[in-house]
């Protein structure tokens, strides 16, 4: 089984005399929420499969998981001729998809996972070119005219939702770029979706996306008529003045802002003093 295109778990079945034997090879410790895997240890262990038998078309077996201090009651069933579904291991509530390997070469489980990020079976580290092109178009629109960005973002919204629906957004950078585009939209739904996508980007290990997590929440709050809380949103009036209002500056502290890559209040005030409409359009992309 691969996560982010990297070998994560191997289930090995073999005959010993007339008996069916098996083992699971995987990281010694990891946490899972269905299709998400995180807190992955560097150590790799081999766990014996016990009491293996067939029941109603499923391969049933137990795994004594000493690292977790429990016995897992597992089941494996065929999904296709080359894929199987594994349930019950490490208390996952979602079946894991295993690919058949008929070659003599056994896949090697890697020990190179980063412990502070999450991985998924449909994850990838390769950026999606389509969302990259949309992002470049969005950024060019922001630079050319601040007022044109919401219209373009609304036009791109359907295309982004189609990419999400087809599973075409995989990497943390894909989700970050999609969040940037949608947070320029005037639609409440798009702004809330942007915040969700930004959160996914960080969960996938793209720590650079932490700023857009804050910005998308600010944008959503202002779109529903509530004050922003971080201070990421600036609006330029026709006379050239810039405002952050409505803005609840006391809701959180500058300590929290710094954790999210947001400048403290005094720097935000300096930014307003020094900014011009043209310069603001460029700075707002950061």
Residues of the chain scoring pLDDT < 50: 278-286
144 in the same domain as 55: no
The answer to whether 204 touches 196, Cβ cutoff 8 Å, is no
Q: State the Cα–Cα distance between residues 222 and 204, nearest whole angstrom.
A: 27
Q: What is the pLDDT of residue 239?
A: 79
- Count of the separate structural domains present in the chain: 2
Q: Which of 120, 138, 170 is the last residue of a domain?
A: 120
Q: State the Cα–Cα distance between residues 216 and 221, nearest whole angstrom.
A: 9
199 in the same domain as 60: no
99 in the same domain as 206: no
Q: Which of 73, 88, 120 is the last residue of a domain?
A: 120
Q: What is the pLDDT of residue 146?
A: 59
40 in the same domain as 112: yes
Q: What is the pLDDT of residue 285?
A: 42
113 in the same domain as 6: yes
Q: What is the pLDDT of residue 147?
A: 60
pLDDT of 77-122, one tens digit each?
999 999 999 999 887 778 999 998 876 666 688 778 887 778 888 7
225 in the same domain as 179: yes
224 in the same domain as 201: yes
277 in the same domain as 140: yes
Q: What is the pLDDT of residue 102?
A: 73
Helical packing angle, 172-182 and 129-144, nearest 10°: 30
Q: Which of 65, 93, 120 is the last residue of a domain?
A: 120
Q: Which residues pair with 7 in a beta bridge?
A: 2
Q: What is the pLDDT of residue 73?
A: 92
238 in the same domain as 199: yes
For residue 47, give its domain range.
2-120
Q: State the Cα–Cα distance between residues 111 and 26, nearest whole angstrom.
A: 9
263 in the same domain as 149: yes
Q: What is the pLDDT of residue 62?
A: 95
134 in the same domain as 13: no
133 in the same domain as 75: no
């Amino acid at each position: 089984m691969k996560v982010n295109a990297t070998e994560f778990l191997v289930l090995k079945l073999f005959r010993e005399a007339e008996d069916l034997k098996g083992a699971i090879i995987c990281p010694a410790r990891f946490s899972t929420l269905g299709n998400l895997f995180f807190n992955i240890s560097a150590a790799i262990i081999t766990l014996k499969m016990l009491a293996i038998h067939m029941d109603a078309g499923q391969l049933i077996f137990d795994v004594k998981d000493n690292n977790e201090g429990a016995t897992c009651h597992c089941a494996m069933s065929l999904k296709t001729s080359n894929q199987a579904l594994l349930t019950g291991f490490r208390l996952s509530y979602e079946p894991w998809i295993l690919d058949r390997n008929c070659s003599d070469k056994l896949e090697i489980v890697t020990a190179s996972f980063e412990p502070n990020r999450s991985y998924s079976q449909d994850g990838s580290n390769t950026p999606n070119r389509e969302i990259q092109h949309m992002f470049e178009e969005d950024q060019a629109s922001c630079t050319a005219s601040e007022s044109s960005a919401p219209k373009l973002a609304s036009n791109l919204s359907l295309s982004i939702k189609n990419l999400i629906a087809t599973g075409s957004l995989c990497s943390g950078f894909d989700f970050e770029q999609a969040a940037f585009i949608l947070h320029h939209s005037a639609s409440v739904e798009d702004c809330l979706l942007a915040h969700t996508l930004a959160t996914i980007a960080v969960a996938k290990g793209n720590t650079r996306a932490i700023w857009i997590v804050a910005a998308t929440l600010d944008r959503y709050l202002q779109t529903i008529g509530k004050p922003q809380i971080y201070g990421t949103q600036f609006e330029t009036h026709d006379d050239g003045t810039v405002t952050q209002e409505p803005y609840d500056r006391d809701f959180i502290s500058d300590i929290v802002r710094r954790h999210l890559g947001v400048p403290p209040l005094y720097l935000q005030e300096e930014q307003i003093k020094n900014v011009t409409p043209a310069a603001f359009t460029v700075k707002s992309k950061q």
